[in-house]
Chain A
Amino acid sequence: MAVQRSDAELARDARSGSEAAYRELVARYATPAVNFTYRFVHERALAEDLAQEGFLRVYQRLNTYDPERKFSSWFFQVLRNVTIDYLRVNRLPTASLDALEEEGHRAAAVDRESASPEELAGRGELASAVAAALSHIRPDYREVVTLRYQEGLTQPEIAEILGLPAGTVKTYLHRARKELAEILAAQGWGRAPAEPTAGKTV
């Protein structure tokens, strides 16, 4: 059984000119990258374009990657910069709830090959609700939620990517969860509506 090479090893080989290593790296991070950008642009084609741009920038800057750092942190930092650059130039209109629900269903449709119809129905409904709620919280909260719960990064890693103190990340996560819970509870999810958060930030 072949031992899976680490991201840092792949990055080192890709930097030395190994196309196979770079291909492996792209294959590993393609889905997380597209999902990360998708949370900000709500359009699959655009999310893929941004992810492509992110991968190119990663390749161009492989010589600046420090193998002592976790590759995923560095990767998301580069990808985040690409996304921010895009959003600065092209201000996206605020999506309506209907449009977001539609986006949620679209997200549910993309992996229907691997799930049963019952699962798909449940997942689609849940995806719509969560995606819609996620789109209604502050962008910086959305960022930490995406990195924490979608990509499974730890709070120190998120702090490193965003250049924020760990305490701030913890606070953002706490407030983001509260806001998400309020939105979902208001939509009828959960047994009882959540209590309003004191000092809610708009």
Chain B
Amino acid sequence: MERKQLDAWLTAEQGGDEDAADAALAHVFAAVPKVQPRSVFVEQAVTTAWRWRAGRQRVLVLAWTAAAALVLAVVVFAYSASPLLGGSIVKAIAYLSGHTVPWLIAYASVALHGWLTLGHVGAVIAAALVTPGRVAAVVGVELFGILAFYALHRIASAERLGDAEV
């Protein structure tokens, strides 16, 4: 029976009939015995999954408990210590902002001034160097370079493919 199925498939394969070969090979595989898992396989898979589930639930419960305890502790501490801490925090913020903000403004002004100066110098140099003739020369050299690179690329590609055609 199986031998017949195999012969039928090989014949269909030789004949080039795609659908027939596909169906025939499916018949051949249907006759091939399957590896059966051990009888404890299912139980083992379920136990493993449920053990993982229990572990995950424990971790989740622990994480939530720790987070809730932390939030509670912070709230209790803030409530009980607010009369003492409130004034100190406001003073610290005022001190820091009073000492840092003027310096920040001063540094920003200096940096802006330096940048504007550089801009002026650059404009003067550019006005001296850029003339229509020089611009035309630079553009011409660039165009020539691009064309040379393109030609080299074509030659290299053609040689790689064994067909020197530029």
Q: How far is the CB of B154 from chain A (nearest CB, A)?
A: 30
Total interface residues in chain B, CB < 8 Å = 35
- Which of B31, B41, B50 lies at the interface centre, i.e. has the most chain A CB atoms within 10 A of its CB? B41
| A194 close to B36 (CB less than 8 A) | no
Counting residue pairs across A and B whose Cβ atoms lie within 8 Å, the total is 126
Q: Which of A17, A34, A110 contacts B33 (CB 8 A)?
A: A110
User: Which size bracket describes the interface of A in this complex?
Assistant: 35 or more
Rounded to whole angstroms, the CA-CA distance of A185 and B14 in the bound complex is 11
A189 touches B10 (CB 8 A): yes
Say yes or no: is A95 at the interface (Cβ < 8 Å to chain B). Answer: no
Interchain CA distance A129-B37 in the complex, whole Å: 22
Complex Cα distance A126/B34, Å?
A: 12
Docked-complex contact B44 and A122, CB < 8 angstroms: no
Which residues of B are in contact with A by a Cβ distance under 8 Å? 1-3, 6-7, 9-11, 13-14, 18, 21-22, 25-26, 28-29, 31-38, 41-42, 44-46, 48-50, 52-53
* B13 lies within 8 A of A173 (CB): no
Which are the 3 A-B pairs with shortest beta-carbon distances? A190-B10, A149-B29, A59-B49
Cβ-defined contact, A35 with B10, below 8 A: no
Determine the chain A residues whose CB is within 8 A of the CB of B6 once the complex forms: 126, 129, 184, 189-190
B8 to chain A, nearest CB (A): 10
Among A52, A125, A194, the residue within 8 A (CB) of B44 is: A52
Interface flags for A158-178 (1: CB within 8 Å of B; 0: not) read: 000000000000000110011
